[in-house]
Every structure is written in C-alpha cells, then in structure tokens.
Structure 1
Amino acid sequence: PKLGNVLSLFFYLKDYPCFDLTPHEQEVVKEYHAFIRKRLRNKEALYRRDVVTGLMQGFFFELCTVFANHAPANAATIKNKSRKEYIFERFYESLVESYQSERSVKYYADQLCLTPKHLSGVVKEVSGKTVGEWIDELVVLEAKALLNSSSMNIQEIADRLNFANQSFFGKYFKHYTGMSPKEYRKSR
C-alpha cells in the first residue's frame, strides 16, 4: 500500500492499539504464519528468500486490510494531520529510503529542513521512539533478515549496510541483539 495509507493506519493504531480479530481474520493470520515458517525452515529451497519476501508482502497487505476493516471508514480523515504527524510521515519516508546508508539524525533533519533537536522532539512525541531508535531498529531488522535468509557473508552484509568494516558492524549488531552476527546466524 502507499506509505500515506499505511501511516494513516499507524496513527489510528497508535490511538487504538487493540481490537478483536474475527474468526476468519484469525485463521488468515495463522495460515500465513504457519506457511511462512514452513518456507523459512526449508534451507535447501533455491528461491527461499524470494518466496518468503513475496509471502511477507502478501501477509502485510492482508494485515493492512484487517486494520482498515477495524478502523472507522474515514479513519484517515477523522482528524486532519497535525504538523507533527506530517513531519513524522516525511521522516519515515526518508528513513525507509536511506536507512541502509544514512544513520545520523542530522541527515534526516537536513532532508526536512529542520534542526536535529526539533526533529528528534517531534518524532519522539508522535511515535514514542527517538529518531535514533527508528534508525537502529530498521538497520538491525535488515541485518537480521540478511543473516537469516541470504547467502551473503558478514563482510558483504556490513558493506551493504554501509558500515566502515566488519568489526564495527559486529559491535553494532551485538550491542542491539546481545550476540555477534555469526552467533545470530548459527542460532537460526
């Protein structure tokens, strides 16, 4: 879905984080979960990563449909976006495009013509997380995904995520996960 639609759902879910799934929706979630786990466990599959990526995309669309079904029909227009929500949306769009290569708050603030302090305050207020936490979360998730489902070695992953060297990547990864990339890969 378009990022704007997803962010509208994000803001709705931020205010209303819990809702009951219908029996059909529960079944859909369980089916996707079971099938994705099964595909992930098939280590010999030639296109495992591509298959799982496609399944995750499908699952994401299904979840967006579920969320949209539970949100009021006009959830996106219930309230006009505040300036802070608008800034957060622009920040998130920029983050999704650049997190693999850019990890400084200043970079994202510059993209939005804001000071790092102002951007940090707005993002924290709107999302409950700091800019740095958002950046680190995306980088660590990407690193985990690459360690789990790619044949790239650790140096290649460090290069892809724009770390100066494998050692720095290893320290960064261990700081956020409690284990080295090699240990993480073995544990999967």
Structure 2
Amino acid sequence: MQTNMNLFQLSDQESFAAGIDVPISAPSFALQKLENFTILFICQGNARLEVDFQRYDLQPRQVMKLLPNQFFQCLEVSVDFRVSYITFTPAIMHEITVRFDPSFFAFLKQYPLSPPLTADKAENHRHLLQAVYDIYMERTHTFRLPIFKNFLQNFLMEIYDKTKALFLHRNAANTSRQEELLEKFISFVFQHSGTQREVQFYADQLCITTRYLSSVIQHLTGHTPKELIDIRCIQEIKMQLRTTNKTMQEIAFELDFPDQSFFARYFKKHTGLTPVAYRAQKTEV
C-alpha cells in the first residue's frame, strides 16, 4: 500500500510513470520541492495539500496539476483517499506543449486545482488515464514512449481548451506577445527570486524597461512584478526554515540579504512573523 507521496518521483530509467486508483494511507509531512510534472485525478476520499504554501482541499473528480519547482506538502488524507496519476519529466512537457500559448503555463501555476468534473467528464478522464497506465505497464512495447506522449498531449489539450475559455479573453495579436513575456518573467522568478528581488534584474533579463514590465504583468495578473517576486522569495525562505537546520545568518547569506537584521525585517513585513517565530510555529505543528 502506498504510504507517502513518492508517486512524484521517477527512477533514472523512466521518463514517465502512471498509477490507477492508488491508495494513499498516510500523508508525507515532509515539505518537498518538485522536480517533475504530475497530474493527479482524485478517485475517492479527501485530502488537504499545500502547493507553494497555499492550501487546497481535494475531493473526488477534481484534477490537480503540479509543476517542477513548486513547493508541495501533503497535510491530511482521509482513510479512503485514492488517486490516479501521471508523472513525467519537464523535457516531455516541453516537447508536447511547444505550440501552446505561454499563458497556459501561467494558468496552471495560478489555478493548479480544477473544480469537480461532471460525471461524464470524469469518466472520460478515467478512460484516458487507464490507457496511459496500460502503455506504462507495457515495458517492452517498441513505441511505448511515443504512444504515451500522444495520450498525454490529448489530455493536456483538453485542459488547454478549457484554459482558453476561462483565461484567454484578450486581443490575440497583442496579448500573445504579452503572455509570452509573462511566462518568461514567471520562469525567471522561479529560477532567481531566492537571490534577486529587484524588478530591474528581471527587466534586464527580458531586455525591456521596468515600466513596460510592470504594465504588462499588472495587466495580466493583477499583481505588480515586485509582489510576485516577493511572494516567491518568501516561499523560498519558508522552505529553508521548514526543511533545514540552517541558522538565520546562514539563510540570509545564502539568499543574498545584506545582513540578518534586514532578512528578518523583510520576512516579517510579508508574513507578520519573524523567521524564528515562523520556524518555531511550524516545529510545534
């Protein structure tokens, strides 16, 4: 029986994995930074997860999409909790979504959990997941990987179609360029926000002015670039505080803060707690 959330891991010999109606008997309380893409279909029961330190309550017929570099923790599961899943590498994701609008990935980051599917839609998902699982189990099939990619692309196209209906309501010509800029900005933030917290750095990476970057990001997300940078940086700090025994001085140095005092003020400004208080609170829990 599955006793933790190691379904996110891939062996060195595999670029994808799948499971059907897998029982999760106990949550994995260890906070982790994901390396692969995972799609979870909730078959039965309920669970509470944290993704990038935001809580989500899962129920049957929902689909959760998890991306590399997101912070994940399973907090609670019911005794009857079961999922079907597909886990695959970033290289596969890039190959099969090369023609998707960049806004699709921004949407996945912002809305990882879908509303519950209708019974008919849920049944369609089950059939597709079963087909993926069947080809996963055929280890000697000559065309195993291409068939998997085809199934996965069909699955993501279904999600993508709903994404366009929910998310892409803007003028296509201008928006396409802006959404591409948004995706690149978010990608840079995921890579560098631990140590780079100024908007100018990201504007330089994108070869645009800070004014134009701020205009585009606020228009598409409702947040300023600085707000998104700080949100991700705080997530990086929380990860360090909850998963390491590093001192405040060590964390401040590693994340390129001028000193420990500045680091503590920055964290308290965005969370209402000092780093020491946050670590103590999570240790007690």
Bigger strand share = 2
2:38 to 52, 61, 72: 61
Superposition pairs for residues 109-124 of structure 1, below 5 Å?
Answer: 109-124=203-218
Bigger helix share = 1
In structure 2, C-alpha distance between the alignment counterparts of 1:105 and 1:182, rounded to whole Å: 28
Matching residue's letter, 2:215 = G
In structure 1, C-alpha distance between the alignment counterparts of 2:199 and 2:263, rounded to whole Å: 19
Partner of 2:191: 97
Structure 1 residue 36, shift from structure 2 partner: 2.3
Matching residue's letter, 1:75 = D
Partner of 1:156: 250
1:36 to 20, 28, 37: 28
- Pairwise CA RMSD: 3.3
Structure 1 residue 73, shift from structure 2 partner: 5.5
Partner of 1:182: 276
Structure 1 residue 106, shift from structure 2 partner: 1.0
Matching residue's letter, 2:28 = I
In structure 2, C-alpha distance between the alignment counterparts of 1:179 and 1:73, rounded to whole Å: 38
The superposition leaves residues 99-133 of structure 1 with CA deviations (integer Å, 9 ceiling, x where unpaired) of 12211111111111111011011011112211011
In structure 2, C-alpha distance between the alignment counterparts of 1:76 and 1:87, rounded to whole Å: 22
TM-score (norm 2): 0.45
Question: Which segments of structure 1 move beyond 6 Å, counting only runs of 4 or more?
Answer: none
Task: Name the % identity.
Answer: 32
Relative contact order, CA 8 A, sep 6+: which one is greater?
Answer: 1
In structure 1, C-alpha distance between the alignment counterparts of 2:159 and 2:261, rounded to whole Å: 50
Gaps (5+ residues) in structure 2? 1-19, 40-63, 66-85, 87-112, 115-151
1:72 is the counterpart of 2:51: no
Q: Secondary structure at the match of 1:36?
A: coil
In structure 2, C-alpha distance between the alignment counterparts of 1:183 and 1:104, rounded to whole Å: 26
Residues 74 and 180 from structure 1, CA distance in 2 versus in 1: closer, same or farther, beyond 3 angstroms? Answer: closer
Partner of 1:128: 222
Greater Rg by CA? 2
Structure 1 residue 70, shift from structure 2 partner: 8.2
Q: Secondary structure at the match of 1:61?
A: strand
Partner of 1:167: 261
Residues 133 and 31 from structure 1, CA distance in 2 versus in 1: closer, same or farther, beyond 3 angstroms? Answer: farther
Aligned length: 147
Q: Secondary structure at the match of 1:164?
A: coil
Residues 117 and 153 from structure 1, CA distance in 2 versus in 1: closer, same or farther, beyond 3 angstroms? Answer: same
Matching residue's letter, 1:90 = K
Residues 107 and 76 from structure 1, CA distance in 2 versus in 1: closer, same or farther, beyond 3 angstroms? Answer: farther
The superposition leaves residues 61-116 of structure 1 with CA deviations (integer Å, 9 ceiling, x where unpaired) of 13326768587265399576611101101111211221122111111111111110
Q: Secondary structure at the match of 1:152?
A: coil
In structure 1, C-alpha distance between the alignment counterparts of 2:193 and 2:260, rounded to whole Å: 18
The superposition leaves residues 122-153 of structure 1 with CA deviations (integer Å, 9 ceiling, x where unpaired) of 01111221101111001101111110111111
Partner of 1:140: 234
